[in-house]
Amino acid sequence: MKAFKKNSLILLLLIFIVFAYFRFYNLDQRIIFDWDQEQFSYQIKNIVEKGDFTLLGPRANNDRGFFLGPYFTYLLIPFYLFRNLHPKALIDFIVVYNIAFYLISYFVLSKLFNRNLAFIFLTLWGINNGLAAYDVIPWWPIILPLGIVLTILVLKNIYENPNRGNYIYLGLLLGFFTNIHFQFLFLILFSFIFLILRYCQNKVFKIKNFLYLASSFLLTFIPILIFDLRNNFLNTKLFFAFFLEDNPGLVNDKNIWTVVFTNFLKPFIYFERVDYMWLFLFIIAGLVIYLINKNKAFSKNFYISFLIILILTPVIFYFYGTRPSEYYFLYLVPFIFIAIADFMLTINKKLLFVPLFVFFLSINNVALKKNLKPIPIGLYYKDKAVNTLKANINMSKKFNVTIDAPLGFHNGYKYLLDWYKIPQSGNFKDPLVQIKLPPEGVDVRINDGIGLIIPKELRK
């Protein structure tokens, strides 16, 4: 037994090394600091310095969308406090989150299924270039996979012990992560299907359990409710308008989701072709049907619920009719990896994992290496540019700073200028310092992406 535990620990560590390498190598130069990151950085700054507690989080989809809750912003506060409000806090968050996801996923999947399934799941997760890229983006969707794993755990607990506490936990989880990103609505649907199946089996339905679930779920929307009460139910109006009114700026294309989903599946199938996308979905559906027939109890209900979600995904996005982003389909990945791993273990062909691992690694290899390269206009170099600017300017003189960059590349600098306490006069007659992208005709070159133009009269 001790030897078995020791071998499992070594394997867990080896898999983690692979997992961590593709996420933590060169991490400080791979972190982005764009519009989203600047937005919640200012929210945190206002909370810490002014006690201005925000009631809103991200906006769904576009500037016509409704707002979700502010929980991700609050989750980041300890990291920002540790870094004295510098956005390097995002690096710490990425490291802590990924380690937490790895360990929690291992222990939860080992409990729900077995250790071997957890090992296969984490290995596939570790070498998937799409996931490796998503796992280092400091924004709301990053924590959704953890929410999915925890939701499955609570559903297992409800299956075995349908008490008040487990229903409250489920409501809080579904509410919290729905406020992180609305694609978690698929997990609400998954949970609903699972609970219906459980009811059909034991014929026991307690209205109070439903009330516990609904109440704890609604509790997570209190910040948004307070905002609506203060603002004539603005967010509620935006919510209904988002789903019921057409956006004149968007073309309704029922099949546009297939192009995006094909891009999303590239780390799984390599080929960006819609027919291969459908083939992949049919294969996964076939594996799930096989597992439904081979399993009983919780696992059977789990796979039936997943199969229904898998079938409904094309239907829902077809009627959605608007181009989603690739990460909108992130909710499917944990289920797909669980199904693949469980299928190999169920047919007792563990060696199938070797060619599967080689295949996935080969089709992800180029993109994985690309993921490790520094981002020329990421947080590291934006911070370096502003720090260099401060080091080379006589702060006793009056001046202004402007960002000379293509549309969409201005974000992040304002927060850093504030953090480094670089004063600006606001008088257009004063000399102008330029942060220039790309760095053409600059006085100071930060890298191939950013440069500085500093008037002579301002230089130290």
Three-class DSSP category at 393: strand
Closest CA to 62 of 81, 35, 80, 91: 35
Residue with tokens 């935006």, as numbered in its chain:
238
Helix H or strand E encompassing 400:
strand 400-404
Residue type (1 letter), 453? I
Helix H or strand E encompassing 415:
helix 413-419
- Please state, in angstroms and rounded to a whole number, the distance separating the CA atoms of residues 282 and 311: 10
- Please state, in angstroms and rounded to a whole number, the distance separating the CA atoms of residues 408 and 6: 51
Q: What is the DSSP letter of 142?
A: G
Could you tell me the sign of the dihedral formed by the alpha carbons of 425, 431, 435, 437, in that order?
A: positive
What's phi and psi for 163, nearest 5 deg? -95, 175
For residue 448, what are its two tokens? 């191939």
- Please state, in angstroms and rounded to a whole number, the distance separating the CA atoms of residues 337 and 98: 17
Could you tell me the sign of the dihedral formed by the alpha carbons of 134, 136, 137, 143, in that order?
A: positive
Closest CA to 219 of 171, 150, 166, 155: 171
Residue type (1 letter), 64? R
Q: How many CA atoms lie within 13 A of 48 on its CB side?
A: 19
Cβ atoms of 28 and 382 closer than 8 Å: no
pTM: 0.93
Three-class DSSP category at 222: helix
Could you tell me the sign of the dihedral formed by the alpha carbons of 133, 263, 147, 365, in that order?
A: negative
Query: DSSP labels for 323-359?
Result: ---GGGGGGGHHHHHHHHHHHHHHTT-GGGHHHHHHH
Cβ atoms of 127 and 359 closer than 8 Å: no
Q: Which residues, listed in sequence order, are joined to residue 451 by a DSSP beta bridge?
A: 436, 445
CB < 8 Å & 24+ apart, contacts of 82-87: 85/41, 85/44, 85/45, 85/48, 85/49, 85/419, 86/419, 87/33, 87/37, 87/41, 87/379, 87/383, 87/412, 87/415, 87/416, 87/419
Helices (H), 347-404: 353-371, 379-392
Cβ atoms of 413 and 451 closer than 8 Å: no
Q: What is the pLDDT along the chain (460 residues), one digit of tens a residue?
A: 455 467 888 999 999 999 999 999 999 999 999 999 999 999 999 999 999 999 998 887 666 678 899 999 999 999 999 999 999 999 999 999 999 999 999 999 999 999 999 999 999 999 999 999 999 999 999 999 999 999 999 999 999 988 899 999 999 999 999 999 989 999 999 999 999 999 888 776 788 999 999 999 999 999 999 999 999 888 888 888 877 776 656 667 888 999 999 999 999 998 888 999 999 999 999 999 999 999 999 999 999 999 999 999 999 999 887 888 899 999 999 999 999 999 999 998 778 888 999 999 999 999 999 999 999 999 999 999 999 999 999 988 999 999 999 988 999 999 999 999 999 998 989 999 999 999 999 999 999 999 999 999 999 8
